Every structure is written in C-alpha cells, then in structure tokens.
C-alpha cells in the first residue's frame, strides 16, 4: 500500500470508528435475507465530496455488492489520500484535489453517461447531467442538499426527472443535524484553518438564517463574535432578531462586517454594490453548496490587483487602496479549507443515504408507476435512523406510560 493509500486508510478508519449510527444501519441491512448482496449487480454513480466520511459510505455500498463510480461534488474539496484508498478497494474514483472546473464537469458528465442504475448526488449536478443524456435505465436516486432539492424540484416540475428521487436533505435526522450542527462546526474549522485569525470581537455577517445559517450564527457567536444576520424571509428574520442577533439589509451590513459568510443556497448574495461598501480587510466566505453566493467574477472585475496571500485566501485590491479577501475562491469554506462535517454528523446523513438507496430497490415496482418523481422523504427511514442514533449516541430517554398514551388521544378534562 502506498503512503497515500495508507493515509487514506487511516482517515477512513478514524471516521468509521466514530460513525456507530451508520454501522447500525449497515448491520440492520445485513440481517435481511439479501444480506451482503443488497446492491449486487447495481451500477451506482455517486457525486459527493471525497472525504473520509464519504469513504465510509462508498466502501459500504461497495461491500454490499454495488459497482461504484465516484466523482467530486466540488473541484476543490477532494482529498487525494481518500481517493487513493478507495481506488485500492476497487472503487472507480474520478476526482482529485484542485481539479479544473472543466475536469470536474467532464467527470460528472462521464458518470451520467455510464448508465447508472442508481445515482447518489450532492447538489443535483449529476441528476441534471443525467437528464441531458438519452439514458433510461436509472432506477432511482438520492440527493444530499437543500440546493439539490431545489434543483430537483425544478427538474421535476419541467418533466425532466425520469426516475424517483429521495430528497435525503428532507430527513429530519439529516437537515436538523447536518445542516445546523455540521455546518456550524465545520465553518469554524474552515475559518480557523483558512485565516488563522481571531474570531472574538469580530463582526460576522451571516447571510441566511435557514438551518445552515443558524448553525453558523450560533457557533460564530460561541467563538465570541458579534453576529449580524441578513434574510429575505420575514419569519426567519424575526427569529434571528429574538435570538439576539442584529438583522440588517446586506447593503447596511456590508459596512459593518469583518467577515461575511453566505449560507443561502441562492446566487449573488454579495455583489458589486456590497463590495463597494465594505471595510478594508473584510473577508468573504461561502458556506453554500455552489460558488455563486459571492459574485467573485464581479469582485475580480472591480479589483486592480489580485494575489493569493495564504493558502485559500485571495486578496483583491480595489480602487481606493482598499483590499478584500476571498476565501477558497468562493467555494464552500468548510470543505475546501476545513475537513467538512465531522463523522458523528455524517453518520446520520449517510445512514439516511444508505437506507434511501435500499428503499429505492425495495419499492422499485411501485415507484415506477408513481408520477411524482421527487418523493416525500419516507418517515420510516427517519424513525429507523432516530433509533440507531439513540444507541450510537448512548442516549436514554423516557417512554410514555399507558396512562400517558391514553391521555394523548383523549379530550376529557384533565
């Protein structure tokens, strides 16, 4: 085994040792009649961040018999040692750290053309690519993110989705944990590694107060920052306000922020009009799936000079002697500069992925007839994962007594 493979193996082992919830899901599936042959003969294409936790999912699918082809969900987030390790296990991996946008797109398109039976995606890119092919054999797919769910909905609405997709992000055991606690911590991780700077006392502007944004707001506050939130949704704005955050429009927040973090799933959150208001030295980072939340091209156009001053930090000098810093070229800072979500979080998301793929196989016939292609997330999977989580996290909770169960369905005066 090469040194790189060995490093990858060690990372994989470390992650696996901290993913007991995923292991419980695996064990549950192994007890079925099909056992280890669950995905025998299945060609599975996966577009995911090539991280140590992903390796645990992919290795499991592989060991359940699937023939797996893995491509990167982001050109900058792949870890080469993990890729090497997975290759050594017999997985086809087309991903490398720092690949060009062209390579990245080409790998996804190639995967789409290889007639996969199942598609596992993170962001919807592979589903979109498949929809542009003539292939028809795909039995179903899943997707991991809010961004992907939005795009799949658009795809389905326009009649372009040709197979059933389980939106894993809709699982409560996914978005309540991965999006909030996962993004919260991994954003701190990414920020600390990228910048090495102090967070206490900094004014951090968090764009978006969805699950990701509130995780990021919570943890940056936890590190001592003063947090300002921007929103387009009144309800979330009011929650942010009552959580003690300042709520401003971006055009006002732009003048106050030391660090900006976009968490919206939208585009053009930080754009020319905002760059012009920002303070010298402000840092711009993105936590959303795509590199479109910060309008980096517009920033480059405004700048007179551009320099990589530290790994993952580009300084853009603007007209009046003012510089701004872009982190990770506007790509997801927690995965490019940091290690991504920790294994204890990914075990929940990937247990959902594994069980969702199994669900697609189990219900293949009914689902073929189903007109609604973007499925509701199956409640039974959420229940299963919750149960595994209780065991994996060693949590002990109360059970309803018989009297309490009765009470819950009665209307008599208590």
Residues between 234 and 253 that touch a second copy (CB under 8 A): 234-235, 237-239, 241-250, 252
Shortest Å, Cβ 158 to a second copy: 7
User: Which span sits near a second copy by CB under 8 A: 64-72, 177-185, 349-357, 370-378?
Assistant: 177-185
Query: Which residues are 224's β-sheet partners?
Result: none
Contact 346, 53 (CB under 8 A): yes
Using the rule CB under 8 A, give the single segment among 35-43, 69-77, 196-204, 371-379 that binds a second copy.
196-204
Of residues 92, 40, 95, the one with CA closest to residue 68: 92
For residues 95 to 114, the per-residue mask of contacts with a second copy, x marking binding by CB under 8 A and - elsewhere, is ----------x---------
Interacting residues with a second copy between 122 and 141 (CB under 8 A): 124-125, 128, 131
Residue among 303, 233, 306 at smallest CA distance from 264: 233
Residue keyed to tokens 């589903």: 127
Contact call for residue 155 and a second copy (CB under 8 A) = yes
412 binding a second copy? (CB under 8 A): yes
Q: Tell me which of 267, 298, 318, 361 binds a second copy, using CB under 8 A.
A: 267
Does residue number 151 form part of the binding site for a second copy (CB under 8 A)? yes
| Residue 247: CB minimum distance to a second copy, A | 5
Chain Cα centroid distance, residue 408 = 37
Please state the closest distance from residue 347 (CB atom) to a second copy, in A: 10
Binds a second copy (CB under 8 A): choice among 200, 305, 365, 376: 200
Distances (CA, A) of 128 to 95, 145, 227: 19, 14, 36
Residues 325-384 binding a second copy (CB under 8 A) are 338-339, 342-345, 382
388 vs 173: CA distance, rounded Å: 11
Please tell me the distance from the alpha carbon of residue 163 to that of residue 395, in angstroms, as a whole number: 38
DSSP state for residue 287 in the 8-state scheme: -
What the block records as the tokens of 169 is 């992000």
Q: Which of 5, 8, 11, 210 binds a second copy (CB under 8 A)?
A: 11
What is the C-alpha to C-alpha distance for residues 57 and 265, in angstroms, rounded to an integer? 25
| Residues of span 57-96 touching a second copy by CB under 8 A | none
Alpha-carbon Rg for the chain in angstroms: 22
- Cα–Cα distances in angstroms (integers) from residue 223 to residues 107, 184, 210, in the given order: 39, 11, 20
CB of 408 to a second copy, least distance (A): 7
Which distant-in-sequence residues (6+ apart) come within 8 Å of 357 by Cβ? 39, 44, 61, 118, 120, 140, 142
User: Min. distance of Cβ 7 from a second copy in angstroms?
Assistant: 9
Residue 386 binding a second copy, by CB under 8 A: yes
Our CB check for a second copy shows the closer of 83 and 389 to be 389
197 is an interface residue for a second copy by CB under 8 A: yes
């Amino acid at each position: 085994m090469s040194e790189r493979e060995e490093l990858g193996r060690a990372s994989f082992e470390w992650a696996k040792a901290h993913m007991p919830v995923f292991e419980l899901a695996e064990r549950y599936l192994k007890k079925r009649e099909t056992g280890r042959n669950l995905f025998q003969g299945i060609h599975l294409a996966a577009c995911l961040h090539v991280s140590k936790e992903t390796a645990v999912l992919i290795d499991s699918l592989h060991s359940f018999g699937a023939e797996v082809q893995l491509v990167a969900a982001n050109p900058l987030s792949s870890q080469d040692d993990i890729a090497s390790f997975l290759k050594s296990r017999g997985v086809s991996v087309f991903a490398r750290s720092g690949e060009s946008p062209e390579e990245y797109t080409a790998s996804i398109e190639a995967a789409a053309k290889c007639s996969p039976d199942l598609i596992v995606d993170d962001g919807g890119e592979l589903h979109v690519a498949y929809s542009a092919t003539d292939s028809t054999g795909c039995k179903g797919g899943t997707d991991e993110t809010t961004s992907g769910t939005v795009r799949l909905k658009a795809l389905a609405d326009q009649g372009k989705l040709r197979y059933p997709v389980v939106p894993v992000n809709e699982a409560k055991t996914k978005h309540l944990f991965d999006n909030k606690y996962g993004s919260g911590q991994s954003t701190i991780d990414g920020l600390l590694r990228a910048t090495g700077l102090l967070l206490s006392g900094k004014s951090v502007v968090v764009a978006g107060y969805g699950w990701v944004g509130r995780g990021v707001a919570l943890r940056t506050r936890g590190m001592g920052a003063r947090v300002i939130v921007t929103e387009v949704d009144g309800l979330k704005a009011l929650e942010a306000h009552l959580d003690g955050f300042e709520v401003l429009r971006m055009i006002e927040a732009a003048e106050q922020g030391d660090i900006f973090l976009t968490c919206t799933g939208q585009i053009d959150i930080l754009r020319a009009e905002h760059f012009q208001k920002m303070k010298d030295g402000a840092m711009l980072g993105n936590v959303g799936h795509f590199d479109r939340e910060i309008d980096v091209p517009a920033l480059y156009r405004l700048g007179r000079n551009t320099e990589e001053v530290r790994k993952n930090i580009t300084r853009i000098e603007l007209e009046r002697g003012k510089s701004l810093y872009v982190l990770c070229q506007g790509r997801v800072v927690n995965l490019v500069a940091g290690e991504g979500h920790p294994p204890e979080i990914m075990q929940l998301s990937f247990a959902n992925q594994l069980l969702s793929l199994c669900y697609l196989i189990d219900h293949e016939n009914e689902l073929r007839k189903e007109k609604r292609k973007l499925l509701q997330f199956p409640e039974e999977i959420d229940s299963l994962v919750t149960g595994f989580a209780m065991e994996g996290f060693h949590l002990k909770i109360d059970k309803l007594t018989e009297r309490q169960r009765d009470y819950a369905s009665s209307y008599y005066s208590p």
